[in-house]
Structure 1
Amino acid sequence: MKEEFYQALEAYPVVTAVKDYNGLELALETESQVVFILFGNITDIANIVRKVKQKNKIAIVHVDLIEGLGSKEIAAKFIKYNTQADGIISTKANIISAAKDLGLITVQRFFLIDSLSLKNVIKYIESGHADTYEVLPGGMYKIITKLSAIATVPLIAGGLISDKEDVIAALGAGATAISSTDTGIWRL
């Protein structure tokens, strides 16, 4: 199944991530073969997954966002034995490990907020812990543009600013300033 997942990502690199039933219905009509399920609870997740599978799509459940599932390994077992899901997404390494042991596709999600989180992401990716990684934010400069358009006070971009190009891009996107722990950036 993992190879089918990788092929689906290559064939259509836009993954539909759904956060409600309306989004689910729209996602089921797209060309995307992979659906990230970001909503539900323990009473309806099997039905949500069933709808995805009926359209012959790959169903990946974000277990951290399913109401009634905890942050323990049992969440992966619940998804494996109570749904037809192909895999899980989680920010928690213990759940990723449990799901991988169960033969589920694993997507480890990371939120990049600063250089420390980047170091952790690099560590996990180098370990080969999950089948794939999802890194957020994916379009920081677009977000800066959007936020600067509505901000009524200076907007400072920080986190993951690592070189002159990053500084210029952040400022060009509308940030008033950047912040960084990188002393090399301080001297620009």
Structure 2
Amino acid sequence: MRSLIVIQTETARSSPEYSDQPTSSPKVILQEYGYFVCTASTLERAKVMVNKADAAVLDLPVGELKGWGKELLWTRSLPLIWWCSASSASESLEACEENVTVDGILTPSMSEQELHWALHFSSRQYFERKQWQSERAQMMAQLEDRKWIDMAKGILSKMKNISEAEAYDFLRKQAMNERKRIVDVATSIVKVYQLLKESK
């Protein structure tokens, strides 16, 4: 992880913390530690720059993280890391209960090694989160498939006066004959049955 985009709204950039000590800005610190950093304060610029970044560092109050994170992830999936400075932390007290997805936290007081390790673990957290989301999507798809198959078995059992096991065998054979997935055959049966029911 070498290339970072820092999201920093005009409010954050004009905070006394950065105007009094410009060396505490995330861009300055990250560049000092050898990272290539670009900044964005508008969504339009962020959407362009995010394609060149390995991660997004969000120098924002917690209340703004969810909205920005959602917009960035629509453009490109990448690790989201919160820059927890004194000003962003103090502006975030009322948003403590928000359900915000971040993969890590950085602070201005971190040493170079601490920052490198925090970014490393943030990257790992991101990949674990993506894997979990992928597994969850697969499970939801399997549940949806199971629903169609169960509905089709019920219809076949009722119409052909057969057991559900026999109805499943029928679906399986039909799928093999048509070279389709069982769920596709089941979905067709359910939809035809529903159309017939509505036409009556």
**Higher helix proportion (structure 1 or 2):** 2
**Higher strand proportion (structure 1 or 2):** 1
Give the TM-score, by structure 2 length.
0.33
Structure of greater Rg: 2
